[in-house]
Homo-oligomer: A and B are copies of this chain.
């Protein structure tokens, strides 16, 4: 387990159903620690609580308070132990304050049947070398958003105009994603992948932090090795909130994760 991602999601058992984690400073972005990283840390604790059921199948998080780097406690409860799947709950707290509450279904994705009847269409992305590498972002941005240095993210230029002040207005962001240390994707890292990109509101010309209220991720298959294609889209920004749908496709052309979140739209910038 020598990769950065595996080190940073590590948990140690403190008691029955209680785990200690050390939230790494490298995953900070905007107002706190990235929600996808937190989901992967909690997912790791849930895995430890569901023997024989190593894979997240459905994971839902409600975000209560921003997390910060440093020690965190994760408490898990098994709500129902079934033959094929189990349902669990988890809470992540820091200094006695609950930051995230989670419900999840765990199972073993490798035992699922091979039938696939999908009408979903794989996102079309330009070749890697034609995409915009996030590593080319200005030094001062990378300093306040260290998250951007945790993976190689190549954004489709068609929806990356916001970086130059020219958002496309489509409410779409998509790109190629690969973790540092060539860490291959697995069901746990897909929990990060569904919430690692900038909010789609950037592409609507609304920069700023878009705090997630609720996020549900469905892990639909064990991903193949290699780069992931990740696409985020919103169709309904209304009442100060927007839904953000994410699909993740693996290098074998399979839809491996679907997620939806409800987030608060960034507030319009006040002009003095």
Q: Which residues of B have CB within 8 Å of A144? A: none
In the complex the two chains form, is B238's CB within 8 Å of A221's CB? Answer: yes
A53 within 8 A of B: no
Known pairs A112-B240, A116-B238, A117-B204. 8 more at Cβ < 8 A? A64-B79, A64-B87, A65-B80, A101-B103, A105-B262, A115-B240, A220-B238, A221-B239
Listed stretches A123-131, A173-181, A210-218; interface member:
A210-218
B117 and A101 form a contact (CB under 8 A): no
Q: A236-B220, A241-B220 are in contact. Are A79 and B60 (CB under 8 A)?
A: no
Contact A216 B214 (CB under 8 A): yes
Given the contacts A255-B236, A262-B218, A101 and B115 also touching, CB distance less than 8 Å: no
What does DSSP make chain A's interface, helix, strand, loop or mixed?
strand
**Is A260 engaged at the interface, CB distance under 8 Å to the other chain?**
yes
B237 touches A58 (CB 8 A): no
Query: Which of A198-224 touch B at CB < 8 Å?
Result: 204, 213-214, 216, 218, 220-221
Task: Report how far A194 CA is from B114 CA in the complex, Å.
Answer: 29
A213 with B57: in contact, given A238-B255, A241-B220, A258-B236 (CB under 8 Å)?
yes
Q: Give the Cβ gap from A88 to chain B, nearest Cβ, in Å.
A: 9
B120 and A235 contact, CB distance less than 8 A: yes
Q: Which of B98, B103, B218, B220 contacts A79 (CB under 8 A)?
A: B98
Q: Which chain B residues lie closer than 8 Å to A214 at the CB level? A: 58, 60, 103, 105, 216, 218
Q: Are B237 and A116 in contact (CB-based, < 8 A)?
A: yes
> CB < 8 Å: which of B58, B114, B204 contacts A262?
B58
Determine whether the beta carbon of B239 is less than 8 Å from that of A220. yes
B-chain residues with CB within 8 Å of residue A57 when the two chains form the complex = 213, 241, 262
| Cβ-closest 9 pairs across A and B | A112-B239, A120-B235, A58-B214, A116-B238, A117-B237, A64-B80, A216-B216, A118-B236, A60-B60
A109 at interface by CB-CB < 8 Å: yes
Inter-subunit contact B60/A216 (CB<8 Å): yes
Residue A119 CB within 8 A of the other chain: yes
A89 at interface by CB-CB < 8 Å: yes
B62:A117 contact, CB within 8 angstroms:
no
Is A156 positioned at the interface, with any CB of B under 8 Å from its CB?
Answer: no
Q: In the complex, A258→B239 CA distance in Å?
A: 14
Q: Within 8 Å CB of A98, what residues of B?
A: 79-80
Q: Is A113 an interface residue (CB 8 A)?
A: yes
When distances are taken between beta carbons in the complex, the residues of chain B under 8 Å from A118 are 235-238
If A79-B62, A103-B62, A118-B238 touch, whether A85 touches B221 (CB-CB below 8 Å) is: no
